Amino acid sequence: MKNLYKYLILVFSISITTISQADSITEQRRNYQNIKAACTKNNIHIIDKLLPKLKDYPLYPYIQSDILMQKINNDVNSLSTKISVIKFIKKYHDIPVVNSISNQFINSLAQQKKWKTLIDFSPKPPSQIKALCNWHYAKAIVKNEPINFNILVKILLNRIHVPKDCNKLFFVSDKYIKISYLNTIELICVAMKAHDEKLVRYLTNILPEDYKNTGNWIIKFQEKPISILDFIKKAKLSPFTLQAIKYSLFHLSHKDIELARRSITTILNHYNNISASDIQELKDIVASNMIRENISYEQKKWRDEVIIHSKSISLIERRIRLSLMYNEMNKLKQLLIHLPHNAKQKEEWQYWLSSIYYLKGNKKIGDIILRNLMKKRGFYSLVAAQKLGLNYKFKHNISPAPDYSISKLKEIRRIRELIYWKYYNLANIEWTNLIANKSIRQKKMLARYANEQQWWYLSVKTITNAKIWDNIKERFPLAWNSIYKKYTNNKTITKNYAMAVARQESAWDPQAHSLMHAMGLMQLEPTAVKQTINVYNIKKFLGLKKLFDPEINIWIGTGYLEYVFKHLGKNRVLTSAAYNAGISKTKKWRKKSAGKLHVIAFIEAIPFRETREYVKNVLLYNAYYNYITGKPKHILTSSEWKYHY
């Protein structure tokens, strides 16, 4: 009885502690919400009142970050702000938000033209591209040091969008310039794509004297690529000239393929000392734009002759896919043999090599190739199993149970609150920082922990980061499972297919968004949303921003997927292609194949790499979800396999 009394006291005290903690976090969240609103309005009185109450709240560093951002944006006293920023960085050096503060301060100092303060604050180069450009510029101005463009160019050329802050680097006084002229032509191309004519003209002006005339011609090449024929009459052959010729020939081949083809002869007649490899590259440039059927017999013959001598793997592979689209098995065989050994080992080409052996009557080698493919875990592994009439054996590793200590980590406590407030991107950054230096075992444990906490997108991220593909419970979490059941119950699409689409589209990030304005779990574009609303006569949709709400996204997304599925004959291959590339393009590919292709040939012949991989992934992910939910099936249904595409 005495022991029972002690036990009841213990349970009661734990319950009281739990309730107290719940009250505490509820109050902290309320105060956090109020202080966020005060920061937006710059209400110093409320901020000063609430800040001491939040010192134990996991997001306290983020509150201080918000306050400091306000100070950076509004405070003209950069020295005072600098001291505050340095203190913040020193105190929270292990938190990712520090980088944002540092970059923001650098860019603010650059805007104020306080170059010396900038260099004093950041002796080392920052990682953010905008801040990096401002840092290089400040270093040139303050320390009279030349800008090392050989390093900077590599950074700029890997960017889709180059910030305007980087432009001023090319307008520094000549004594600070240290640029390799071989990189200049690449920079001109980047600037032309960005329609920055001022920068293009400046870059041509800083070319060495021997290349000035060449530079003046470059400006003409995009709008009038035919000017290349006039250009070669005046320009001496050099590495720079040759790059300019290749650039203009690329544009000319898009405007007039035959003129581009004939121009090669003119170029070679004028320059008789171009190397064999460069001649082949010129031909490859034009042949690359001839991977289509609406060209003459002579052009096709020329194209294939170029490709059979080419060392460009991507060009050969594109021609292979064209042969698949038109069922040219002899050409397929010839091209597969021509592929370099390493490229030939890709799963898709191993599969088609097996098909060639089957056609030659060599079933034994064909079977061996397919059985070897089955040992892997990709799309063609499951296709090989289906072709052989065998069941694919999924590899399934169990992640170790999370340590109790994980939930106590400061990073985990911050991530939990960030996800509570739906700051998924910030939580993602914190998580990336957390797993960066962890062992594989620790990453497996964290992936399982994330899955158990229903942080599904972080579970997927961890698996991808660690490349632990066989931990499939964490790789393919049953995210929002009950909601998917709810919205697919009365539809012809299966729950697992809809989940496979979402897994491919967003990797379960509810706030995922793309440059094409696709939003949320199922990456819905405005046109698809509008179409779905019209088809299903939806009255209560409250606007595109609501697509970041998982249930609304699943509701609209499964509706659109069902519409496409029915429209394309209840075929997942065609539906997946259309979900990615659009219904009209999918119909165009079907028209071109004219019902002559087997399903695998049709998939591999899709000309867009993104769509091709998308279809494979969705079908593969669907198969994994079928396995996880106890419904293992072949990767393709019987009707999908037998259908003539």
Q: Compare 119 and 211 and report the one with higher pLDDT.
A: 119
∠ CA 125-126-131, nearest 5°, is 110
Q: Is residue 466 part of a domain?
A: yes
Looking at the structure, do residues 612 and 566 belong to the same domain, yes or no? Answer: yes
Q: Is residue 179 part of a domain?
A: no
Question: What band does 22 get if pLDDT is binned at 50, 70 and 90?
Answer: very low
Q: Compare 516 and 465 and report the one with higher pLDDT.
A: 465
Rounded CA separation 267/607 (Å): 31
Contact between residue 195 and residue 202 where contact means Cβ atoms under 8 Å apart: no
At residue 10, the pLDDT reads 38
Rounded CA separation 591/229 (Å): 39
Q: What are phi and psi of 536, to 5 degrees?
A: -100, 5
Looking at the structure, do residues 618 and 541 belong to the same domain, yes or no? Answer: yes
Q: Is residue 384 part of a domain?
A: no
* CATH number where 622 lies: 1.10.530.10
How many Cβ atoms from other residues are within 10 Å of residue 301's Cβ? 11
Q: Say what percent of the chain tops pLDDT 90.
A: 73
Q: Where do we find the tokens 């032309």?
A: 192
* Integer angstrom CA distances of residue 306 from 247, 299, 302, 613: 19, 11, 6, 27
519 has which bridge partners? 513, 524
User: What is the DSSP-derived secondary structure letter of residue 251?
Assistant: H
Q: Where do we find the tokens 């632990």?
A: 468
Rounded CA separation 565/257 (Å): 38
Return the closest-CA partner of residue 21 out of 403, 411, 404, 407: 407
At residue 12, the pLDDT reads 35
Contact between residue 621 and residue 503 where contact means Cβ atoms under 8 Å apart: yes
Rounded CA separation 23/490 (Å): 42
How many Cβ atoms from other residues are within 10 Å of residue 318's Cβ? 16
> Residue 315 has which token pair?
């060009």
Looking at the structure, do residues 596 and 562 belong to the same domain, yes or no? Answer: yes
Res 23 pLDDT > 70: no
Q: Is residue 142 part of a domain?
A: no
How many Cβ atoms from other residues are within 10 Å of residue 575's Cβ? 26
Contact between residue 191 and residue 218 where contact means Cβ atoms under 8 Å apart: no
pTM of the complete model: 0.89
> Residue 571 has which token pair?
């075929």
Q: 416: burial class by Cβ within 10 Å (0-12, 13-18, 19+)?
A: middle
What pLDDT digit, counting tens, does each position of 386-417 carry?
Answer: 999 999 999 999 999 999 999 999 999 999 99
| Mean pLDDT value across residues 199-223 | 75
Which of 130-144, 199-213, 352-366, 568-582 is least confident? 199-213
- Which domain, by its residues, includes 438? 404-475
Question: What band does 203 get if pLDDT is binned at 50, 70 and 90?
Answer: confident
Rounded CA separation 194/189 (Å): 9
Q: Is residue 82 part of a domain?
A: no
Looking at the structure, do residues 560 and 605 belong to the same domain, yes or no? Answer: yes
Looking at the structure, do residues 487 and 425 belong to the same domain, yes or no? Answer: no
Indicate the number of domains in the chain.
2
Rounded CA separation 503/500 (Å): 5
Looking at the structure, do residues 546 and 586 belong to the same domain, yes or no? Answer: yes
Q: Is residue 523 part of a domain?
A: yes
Longest dimension (CA), the chain: 107
Looking at the structure, do residues 604 and 470 belong to the same domain, yes or no? Answer: no
What pLDDT digit, counting tens, does each position of 215-252 carry?
Answer: 777 778 877 888 888 888 888 898 878 888 998 899 89
User: What is the DSSP-derived secondary structure letter of residue 123?
Assistant: S
Side chain identity, residue 529: V
What pLDDT digit, counting tens, does each position of 593-622 carry?
Answer: 999 999 999 999 999 999 999 999 999 999
At residue 82, the pLDDT reads 92
The domain boundary residue, chosen from 447, 475, 503: 475
> Residue 134 has which token pair?
């401002």
What pLDDT digit, counting tens, does each position of 543-596 carry?
Answer: 888 999 999 999 999 999 999 999 999 999 999 999 999 999 999 999 999 999
147 has which bridge partners? 177
The domain boundary residue, chosen from 451, 475, 499: 475
Looking at the structure, do residues 632 and 568 belong to the same domain, yes or no? Answer: yes
Name 426's Cβ contacts closer than 8 Å, sequence gap at least 6.
62, 97, 418
Contact between residue 364 and residue 394 where contact means Cβ atoms under 8 Å apart: no
Q: Where do we find the tokens 């011609």?
A: 217
211 has which bridge partners? none
Return the closest-CA partner of residue 552 out of 521, 575, 512: 521
Q: Is residue 215 part of a domain?
A: no
At residue 195, the pLDDT reads 58
| Mean pLDDT value across residues 64-78 | 86
Looking at the structure, do residues 504 and 620 belong to the same domain, yes or no? Answer: yes
Res 440 pLDDT > 60: yes
* Integer angstrom CA distances of residue 157 from 169, 194, 269, 355, 471: 15, 12, 33, 41, 37
Contact between residue 468 and residue 447 where contact means Cβ atoms under 8 Å apart: yes
User: What is the DSSP-derived secondary structure letter of residue 479?
Assistant: T
Q: Per DSSP, which regions of 341-491 are E strands?
A: none
Looking at the structure, do residues 452 and 532 belong to the same domain, yes or no? Answer: no
Residues known to be catalytic = 505
How many Cβ atoms from other residues are within 10 Å of residue 594's Cβ? 12
- In total, the chain counts a number of residues equal to 645
Which of 69-73, 102-106, 168-172 is least confident? 168-172
Q: Is residue 602 part of a domain?
A: yes
Looking at the structure, do residues 438 and 571 belong to the same domain, yes or no? Answer: no
Looking at the structure, do residues 508 and 630 belong to the same domain, yes or no? Answer: yes
The domain boundary residue, chosen from 453, 475, 497: 475
